[in-house]
Structure 1
Amino acid sequence: MDMNEQLAQEWTTLQNNHESHERSALVIKLVAVVLFAGTWLAGLDPLMGGALVLILWFQESILKTWQSRLAVRLLDIEAIIKRGSQNDGQPFQLHSHWLAQRPGLAGLLIEYGQNAIRPTVAFPYAALLLLAVIL
């Protein structure tokens, strides 16, 4: 298998995983809504529902951080293929590349926080937390 075929195989695998992360994020959002509604319907303290929402929000931010790492590698592969250079990049280097650029604990926490405040991640969590405070 030549380098371009290997890169194409890696791209396909990573793209499938990238899309899988998107579906998982949607499931986490739906679970947050159902759990919040369940705590409200059960007459439990709204702050309990809010705490569950926070946990799931942070969980999705971690998932989105993983997904963004896949996106970086996908873009690298696309650039290599576009340039058409056989010697420009090696296939199957996702973890080696990430490990070489891995931030420390503070960097990871900042990365998780940046993903948590993205509008596509923050919705519906911010709205549910607002409801928890209002109720």
Structure 2
Amino acid sequence: MNALQQEWLALQSQHERYEALALAVKLAAFLATLLVLDSALALAVLALLWLQEAVLKTFQGRLGDRLLAIEPALKTGADAPAMQLHSDWLASRPRGAGLVAEYLKSALRPTVALPYPLLMLLVAFV
């Protein structure tokens, strides 16, 4: 097995791990809705969990970008440099407001946003 194949396997494993972590954050949001008695505190916890999931999904997206860069080289057998996840990301890393915008964009993706607004409405009106 060459270095590019090893990198793909490692990244794919971590990509799936981030998915499981994001689901755990959603579960924590449901539990917070049920267990936190103070509405203001529950809304704050839900907002923090929503942002935390957005950060996790942003990190997962970076792994996915690298996986998509590796796959064509694996398919064609091309000689491509392995182990370049951080170097490639650093070369295009957004700064300051751009980084915050990247996290907020992740937060607004339907697969991330669901169920946070609904839980927040539930907490606010029940």
With normalisation by structure 2, the TM-score equals 0.95
2:23, 2:72 → 1: CA distance?
A: 29
Is 1:48 the counterpart of 2:45? The answer is: no
Q: CA deviation at 1:128?
A: 0.6
Partner of 1:68: 61
* Higher mean C-alpha displacement, 68-77 vs 44-53: 44-53
Partner of 2:50: 57
Is 1:27 the counterpart of 2:24? The answer is: yes
Among all aligned residue pairs of Structure 1 and Structure 2, give the percentage whose two residues are the same amino acid. 48
* Higher mean C-alpha displacement, 21-30 vs 119-128: 119-128
What is the letter of the counterpart of residue 14 of structure 1?
A: L
What is the letter of the counterpart of residue 38 of structure 1?
A: L
Q: CA deviation at 1:68?
A: 0.3
Is 1:111 the counterpart of 2:120? The answer is: no
What is the letter of the counterpart of residue 54 of structure 2?
A: S
Superposed structure 1 runs of 4+ greater than 3 Å apart: none
Q: Secondary structure of the residue that 2:81 maps to in structure 1?
A: coil
Structure index of larger Rg: 1
What is the letter of the counterpart of residue 92 of structure 1?
A: M
The answer for unaligned runs of 5 or more in structure 1 is none
Partner of 1:120: 111
Q: CA deviation at 1:95?
A: 0.3
Partner of 1:16: 13
1:52, 1:20 → 2: CA distance?
A: 23
Q: Secondary structure of the residue that 2:9 maps to in structure 1?
A: helix
